[in-house]
Structure 1
Amino acid sequence: MPRGIQLNANALRVLAGLYHGTEPHYGLSLSRALGLGNGTLYPILDKLEGAGLIVGEWEAIDPHAAGRRPRRFYTLTGEGIRTFEAERARVFGPVGTEGRHA
């Protein structure tokens, strides 16, 4: 885990949601999937991105043509995957070889 970062239960939930997701998530989809409000979720996303555990990228759309603002999609970095897997093993014990690799 990167130095100086402590992951609370909600931060681990966000990492788990990104880890187990099949596609990148944007803020609202994470909020709905995890039951976290914006005031909780966005500071966690900022913290995780600042620590290099996730990366956020704005989608390339024309807001007028799409009829909405661009979404910022979040994905785990390799370090984020390793950190989540290490924390999961620390909390729940080792798991089989079905884990995700980066």
Structure 2
Amino acid sequence: MEPLHRVTAQTVDVLALMLQSPEPLWGLQIVKTLGRPSGTVYPILERLERQGWIRSSWAEHSEVQERRRRLYEFTADGADAARELCRAQGRL
């Protein structure tokens, strides 16, 4: 896992939201909950995944859900690092 070189308020918002969730979150759910543009959230998710903080997987569609959703969750090291970073930022 790589350390984050660029930590913005938006990045901390994404990390804090993911820490609060007991299960993986899908991208649009994060966008809607935070009220941030998708053009802000998705690049953050991509960077966090590339650096090993989170991982993603595709959830297959069901009768209720017509489209597949990409789910995001922490890696073990990523969750620990996110807690530490959010504490340092006063978000936990």
Q: Is TM more than 0.5 here?
A: yes
Stretches of structure 2 lacking an aligned partner (at least 5 in a row): none
> Is contact 2:15-2:86 (8 Å) kept?
no
Stretches of structure 1 lacking an aligned partner (at least 5 in a row): 96-102
**Does residue 8 of structure 2 align to residue 16 of structure 1?**
no
1:50 paired residue number: 50
**What is the aligned-residue RMSD (CA, Å)?**
2.3
> Is contact 1:56-1:73 (8 Å) kept?
yes
Return the letter of the residue paired with 1:11: T
Larger RCO: Structure 1 or Structure 2 (Cα < 8 Å, ≥ 6 residues apart)?
2
Give the match's secondary structure for 1:74.
strand
Query: For residues 25-83 of structure 1, what are the alpha-carbon distances to aligned partners after superposition, in whole Å with 9 as ceiling and x for unaligned?
Result: 11111111111111111111100110111111001336xx6662200000111122111
Share of identical aligned residues, percent? 31
Map 1:28-43 → 2, pairs under 5 A: 28-43=28-43
81-90 or 23-32, larger mean C-alpha shift: 81-90
> Could you state the TM-score of these two structures normalised by the residue count of structure 1?
0.76
